Amino acid sequence: GQQLNQSPQSMFIQEGEDVSMNCTSSSIFNTWLWYKQEPGEGPVLLIALYKAGELTSNGRLTAQFGITRKDSFLNISASIPSDVGIYFCAGQLPNSGNTPLVFGKGTRLSVIA
Amino acid sequence: DSGVTQTPKHLITATGQRVTLRCSPRSGDLSVYWYQQSLDQGLQFLIHYYNGEERAKGNILERFSAQQFPDLHSELNLSSLELGDSALYFCASSPYPGELFFGEGSRLTVL
């Protein structure tokens, strides 16, 4: 099936640092979404992107839908301890109808205070 | 709070047993998806229902089945449980293809 390559797999950063993670695929996607999952919780939608080139912010988070439609990145500025969690990218294939979102394997973020 | 409700939150059972996980979608959402997440693994799609009809199947074992009822709630039935079935099971609902809203999950432990 379709795969999303998400990197890095994990990162340890100091509080206050900026974070960047990305997701790539060999396939074109119509929609890119970024989710965050905290321990013991379900994934929570952070940002949804619907157009190639779209740049969208949600507080300290910024995500972009790549021009080629095969990638997306998520930036977190001035990280804080509560940013800890697993960040998943997900994509919707064109004309996929009922096909569910394809998820990446996640980037595990640890923030050192 | 995503608006998606899953019960039970935790479940411990023995191998060979059968369990039922329940999901109530967000008000107005017709689509329900089930995902499995094993330890340190990503989200594995199991099955999708739309307004009571099965629409897509993923890596769902034959021992597992699901249904969506007229009131749109859904149940995932897991039978002949094995140790490897221990995982978090998430339900998600969606107003349209694309954005999923996840419940808090049901953690199944098979001993």
Pairwise CA distance, residues A10 & A69, whole Å: 24
Q: How far is A16 from chain B (nearest CA, A)?
A: 27
As given in the structure block, the two tokens for residue B16 are: 């060979």
**How high is the mean pLDDT of chain B?**
93
Does residue A1 have a pLDDT over 70?
no
Q: Is the pLDDT of residue A97 over 70?
A: no
* Residue A17 backbone zone (phi > 0: left; psi -120 to 50: alpha; other: beta): beta
B108 touches chain A (CB under 8 A): no
In B, minimum Cα distance to A105 occurs at B42
**Is B93 or A101 the better-scoring residue by pLDDT?**
B93
**Residue B38 identity:** S
> What pLDDT, in 10s, does the model give residues A4-22?
899 999 999 999 999 999 9
What pLDDT is recorded for position A12? 96
State pLDDT tens for residues A36-95. 999 888 999 999 999 999 999 999 999 999 999 999 999 999 999 999 999 999 998 887
Chain A CB within 8 Å of residue B3 CB: no
pLDDT greater than 80 at residue A96: no
Query: What is the model's pLDDT at position A31?
Result: 92
8 Å CB contact of A33 and B103: no
CB pair distance less than 8 Å for A43 and B102: yes
Look-up: residue for tokens 């330890």? B39
Residue of B37, B39, B96, B100 for testing the chain A interface, max A β-carbons within 10 Å: B100
Question: Taking residues B55-77, what's their average pLDDT?
Answer: 95
| CA B9/CA A49 separation, integer angstroms | 31
Q: Which residues pair with B32 in a beta bridge?
A: B49, B93
CB contact under 8 A, A105 and B105: no
Structure confidence at residue B22 (pLDDT): 98
